[in-house]
Amino acid sequence: MTTRLRVIWVVGLALVAFVLAAAVPNVLAQSKELVIADFDTGDKPNNIGGDFGGWDKDPNDDTQSCQESFESDDALGDPAGYSIRLDYDVDSPNPAYNGFWMKLNGEDATAYNTLNFYMKGDAKAGYTKRVKIELKDMTNKPSPYIVTGVTDQWQKFSIPFEKFRRITDWKSMNEFVVVFDDINSNPKSGTIYLDQVTFSKD
């Protein structure tokens, strides 16, 4: 090997080592993710011990409702997994809103910066392409965000924490909420699926 070739070889090796050294911690950092709910047991509670369920502005008004159930259609394709199915109806002569609540059990989210979840609509039942979600810390002020572009295929939605402007204390999180209302939901009744709710750090 000539001296010149040897130099090229050594420089090449150094470059490879440099790229690897830069990439590996990056990959490790990207894998930092807390699974809040994968629903894969087909039962309550969620992965961090939190309860969840459907809710309704007025349970006595039978023209509006949101029923939650487990569906064996997993967002990540696990044949043994489940997602949550939300059959909503905000088609009512009265002001109508309802949805799905899920406790975050005081989870400390300060190590993360992104809320992730998978969502899709049911082509047969119909579904709204716009869905409001909310995060709440222990002050319980809802911090809303409108998800747009829901389709009948599973899609991952990742929302940076800074979009939730009314969260003041990420150290102690209370609740994740899905809201169907008679303004954002079109059609006013349909079916939405939800799965794999996580906090991650990018």
Q: Between 66 and 167, whose beta carbon lies closer to Ca ion?
A: 66
Q: Which stretch binds Ca ion (CB under 5 A): 23-31, 32-40, 101-109, 141-149?
A: 32-40
When asked if residue 40 is in the footprint of Ca ion (CB under 5 A), the reply is: yes
Shortest Å distance, C-beta 90 to Ca ion: 7
Nearest CA to 113 out of 172, 29, 199 is that of: 199
Q: Which stretch binds Ca ion (CB under 5 A): 44-52, 82-90, 139-147, 175-183?
A: 82-90
Shortest Å distance, C-beta 22 to Ca ion: 34
Which of 56, 137, 181, 195: binder of Ca ion (CB under 5 A)? 195
Residues in the chain, total: 202
Shortest Å distance, C-beta 76 to Ca ion: 6
CB atoms within 10 A of CB 148: 10
When asked if residue 137 is in the footprint of Ca ion (CB under 5 A), the reply is: no
Q: Which two tokens stand for residue 60?
A: 């006595």
Q: Between 73 and 108, whose beta carbon lies closer to Ca ion?
A: 73
**Contacts with Ca ion in 59-78 (CB under 5 A)?**
63, 74
Which of 56, 68, 71, 81: binder of Ca ion (CB under 5 A)? 81
Is the peptide bond between 160 and the residue preceding it cis, with omega within 30 degrees of 0?
A: no
Q: Which stretch binds Ca ion (CB under 5 A): 100-108, 119-127, 139-147, 192-200?
A: 192-200
When asked if residue 38 is in the footprint of Ca ion (CB under 5 A), the reply is: yes
Q: Which stretch binds Ca ion (CB under 5 A): 9-17, 18-26, 80-88, 109-117?
A: 80-88
Q: What residues line the site for Ca ion (CB under 5 A)?
A: 38-40, 63, 74, 81, 89, 91, 195
